[in-house]
Structures are given as structure tokens and as C-alpha cells.
Amino acid sequence: MRFGRGGPNARGMTVVTRFAPSPTGRLHVGNIRAALHNWMFARGQGGRFVLRIDDTDAERSEERFVDAIREDLAWLGLTPDAEVRQSERFGLYETRFEELRAAGRIYPAYDTSQELDLKRKIQLGRGLPPVYDRAALQLSDADRARLENEGVRPHWRFRLDDDAVVEWDDLVRGHQRFDPKTMSDPVIRRADGSWLYMLPSAIDDIDLGISHVMRGEDHVANTALQIQMFAAMGSTPPHFAHAALLTGSEGKLSKRLGSLGVDQLREMGIEAQAIRALLARLGTSDPVEPVVEMAPLLATFDFGRFGRAPARFDEAELAQLNARIVHQLPYEAVRDRLPAGVTAEVWEAVRPNLSTVAEVQDWWQVIEGPITPAALSDDDRAYLALAADAAEAIDWGADPWHQLTGALKGSTGRKGKALFLPLRQALTGRDHGPDMAALLPLIGRDRALARLRGA
């Protein structure tokens, strides 16, 4: 049972990818990366991107998380072409279930969790792989009837074909081979009738025409099992790509990555473009760059560029990338998020000093005032008194900063830091900041004179 690598359109069909989150919490960094890869591949190939809400677990699924998933994808710009919900597809699953059951590929198992745990411990103690022994298949009709009369309800397992070694060419990991004799028949349905992930996912991939499945390498063993399910249902499986998992900056799997969600990133002031730019290239041979538009990222998206080593997610790198993205954002892209009164001129002046868009509020306060004066020496205060007189005499309609500093350089002999820093401190209350040539006209003549005289 082997499936070739093939190109994106090797089967002469439209590329269709899917992102399948469970609505049991907010999307986290790993989810976002999977969604982005699937969206990018579909868009780059002129295909379709499907959002599948995996809400078969009625107890844990919440509608507020369904809404949050939609909102997060929309904010990230990862708009799906279609949405389906597994909770609305139970009839389809039931039909396939009965077909597979009639074909002998699904069977009831009555083992309790305690019995299964004991069997695993015994196998491990003997140095054997903890593979289910198919004890349920040894039960007679009378045995099953007795158990049912005692109130024992079975869970259901998919019976693997032991003679069909599973092989496929993974788009990231290369050739993969699994011997079904080393794997347990997977449980696909609980005793209460509720569904587990494996079979409904395969059924949906067939029904929705999914051509490519991109997910984390923790699903590789699941893929081997699902390939047999595709074969049992008479269907060719999709192409599979399993990306290496993310690790934290400390070099090991981080619990924080499992909880760092889109909502938190937004609260931190991270731009959607920064998230996309980082996660699109993380784990590939391409450099991470502050790319604002998606076109360059789509043009270079290639499974051959993905490595096998874990991909390192560093929040500090994301923050630095975010600042570089913010420095490129035009006024029109951010105007709805700026404080009232902030003009394009203000944005252009302060933008190079921002790490997040929200920080514009700090510089708007510097422009509008009041500011907290810096502590100055007696010499600097005397110098600023001269600066106030010079500022009153210059033409404020023509580059006041260079007029002011030019006049003071000639009258005081100061230059460099001694010339510029006291002026910046008196006018802004800060030691560093935006280019004063751009900032001073925004502060304006009256406020500038008051600050220089007040210093």
C-alpha cells in the first residue's frame, strides 16, 4: 500500500486544503501555523481552503470558540472558501461506519480501560510493543450477548490489514513506512456512540475532495492508520505534509506555545502581518523577513524548503519583526486605530520609533503635552533661555529645527550632543525619540516656546 509523492496537481484536480480546529479553546501558535500553511498552499496553487470545525466532542466544544476561530482567521487574513461542521455530518459518518462494519473492517470491543492498561504493562514488561491483542475478535456471539445483557457497551475499533504495509512519500519528511503489525487497531467510536478523530476526519477528506493535508509531525502515525481507512473506503488518500513541531526559545517544547493565542498576540500589539511573515518561513531554509504583503511569501512557499529539525519560535524575534513591519505600515492601514487628532504627518514622524501601533499614543502625548520636564544643569537651563529667544525669531513655516539649531550653534558654539540633547529634553521630556526636524513642527511654535521657557 504505497502512495507516490506527485506534484500539487498530479491527479489533474484542484488543490483543496483544510484546517480542522476543535472549538475547545482559542487558536494557539501551532494552530495558526497549520492554518497558514494550508491557506498559503491553496492560494499559491489557485485552489480552495476549507475550514472544518471538529466539534464532535459535544461536552468540550463551545460556540464561543467557534466564533473566536472565525474571528482569528479573519484578522489573520486567512479567509476560508467554505466552512463545514462535523456535528452536522453525523449521518454521513453513520453510513460509512455501517459499510465498514458490514465489510468486517470495524468491530466491537468490550475491554475496559483497566484491562487495557494491564495488558499494556505486561507487554512493556516483556519488552514487546503495547499493541492491542484483538481479544474482542475472539468473543463468540454468546459472549457478546452476555456482556451486553450485563450492561457493557462496546467501543468500536477499525481493523487494520496486517498484510498491507503502509508507505507514502511525505512532502516534508520524505519516504515513510509503517508495518501495521506494530500498530493497534485504533478506537474510532466510544461506547456512548460519540466519534473520535480518526474515521470522521478521513470520511470528510474524501467527501470534501481534500487533495493535500498539512499538519504537524505528531500526526505521522495517525496518517499511517488513516491511509488504511482511505483504502478500506475505496479512496485514494490526499498528499500529506508533516511539518516539524515548534519549540520555544529555550530549545525544548514549550507549554506556553500551547497557550499563546491570537487574542494574546493582539493584546501584545503584534500585527497580523508579523505573525504571517514569521510562521510562513519558520522551519524553512528561507530567511524570516518583514514582509507586509502575502505575494512574496506565496511565491516562495515550497515543501522542499522545510527542514526536519524542530522549528524555534522566539517571542523576541516576533517582537523585533513586528517593529519592522510597523515601520512599513502606511497611514491608511492604521488610521482607524490611532488616537483622535493623529494625522498622516504625525504617523510618518513617529512611526520609525514604534514597536507597536499602540505606542503612537505615547508620542501623541509628547506632541500635545503636557510633558514632564527633564532634570537639567544650570548651564543647560541658561542655554535653553537663549534657545527660547532664538525660537521666537525664526520662521516656523520653513524647517524650524534646523533654523533653531543653526542659530544656536553660531551664537553659543555648542555642537553635537551638547547642542541637540538639551533641546530634545526640554521639548519632549525624553532623551531619545523621533527625528526632531519632523517632530518640532508638530509640537508647534507656542508649545515649543512655553516648554523652552519653562525649562
Mapping DSSP onto H, E and C, the string for the chain reads CEECCCCCCCCCCCCEEEECCCCCCCCEHHHHHHHHHHHHHHHHCCCEEEEEECCCCCCCCCHHHHHHHHHHHHHHCCCCCEEEEHHHCHHHHHHHHHHHHHCCCEEEECCCHHHHHHHHHHHHHCCCCCCCCCHHHHCCHHHHHHHHHCCCCCEEEECCCCCCCEEEEECCCEEEEECHHHCCCCEEECCCCCECCHHHHHHHHHHCCCCEEEEEHHHHHHHHHHHHHHHHCCCCCCEEEEECCEECCCCCCCHHHHCCEHHHHHHCCCCHHHHHHHHHHCCECCCCCCCCCCHHHHHHCCHHHECCCCEECCHHHHHHHHHHHHCCCCHHHHHHHCCCCCCHHHHHHHHHHCCCHHHHHHHHHHHHCCCCCCCCCHHHHHHHHHHHHHHHHCCCCCCHHHHHHHHHHHHHCCCHHHHHHHHHHHHHCCCCCCCHHHHHHHHCHHHHHHHHHHC
Average pLDDT of the chain?
Answer: 93
Q: For the chain, what are the domain ranges?
A: 255-331, 332-368, 378-454
pLDDT for res 8 = 47
**CA-to-CA distance for 291 and 288, rounded, in angstroms?**
8
**CA-to-CA distance for 10 and 6, rounded, in angstroms?**
5
pLDDT above 70 coverage of the chain, percent? 95
Q: What separation, in Å, do the N-terminal and C-terminal C-alpha atoms of the chain show? A: 82
pLDDT digits (tens, 9 = 90+) for 233-292: 999 999 999 999 998 866 555 556 666 888 999 999 999 999 999 999 999 999 999 999
pLDDT for res 257 = 65
Please tell me the pTM assigned to this model: 0.89
pLDDT digits (tens, 9 = 90+) for 21-31: 999 999 999 99
Among residues 184, 186, 180, the alpha carbon closest in space to that of 163 is found at: 180
**CA-to-CA distance for 294 and 292, rounded, in angstroms?**
7
What residue numbers does the annotated binding site cover?
255
Say if residue 111's pLDDT is above 80. Answer: yes
Among residues 355, 356, 353, the alpha carbon closest in space to that of 367 is found at: 353
Say if residue 209's pLDDT is above 80. Answer: yes
Which residues does residue 169 pair with via DSSP β-bridges, in sequence order?
175
Say if residue 323's pLDDT is above 60. Answer: yes
pLDDT for res 374 = 87
User: Which comes out higher in pLDDT, residue 30 or 6?
Assistant: 30
pLDDT for res 256 = 63
CATH superfamily label, 255-331 = Glutamyl-trna Synthetase; Domain 2 (1.10.1160.10)
What residue numbers does the annotated binding site for ATP cover?
255
Question: Domain 378-454, what architecture?
Answer: Orthogonal Bundle (1.10)
pLDDT for res 88 = 97
Say if residue 443's pLDDT is above 80. Answer: yes
Say if residue 336's pLDDT is above 50. Answer: yes
pLDDT for res 373 = 84
pLDDT above 90 coverage of the chain, percent? 89
Residues 57, 24 contacting (CB under 8 angstroms)? yes
Which residues does residue 284 pair with via DSSP β-bridges, in sequence order?
306
Mean pLDDT of 296-307: 94
The three cell numbers locating residue 192: 456512548
- Going by their DSSP bridges, the two strands 187-189 and 155-158 should be labelled as antiparallel
The three cell numbers locating residue 161: 490489514
pLDDT for res 68 = 96
State the sign of the Cα–Cα–Cα–Cα dihedral 101, 102, 105, 109.
positive
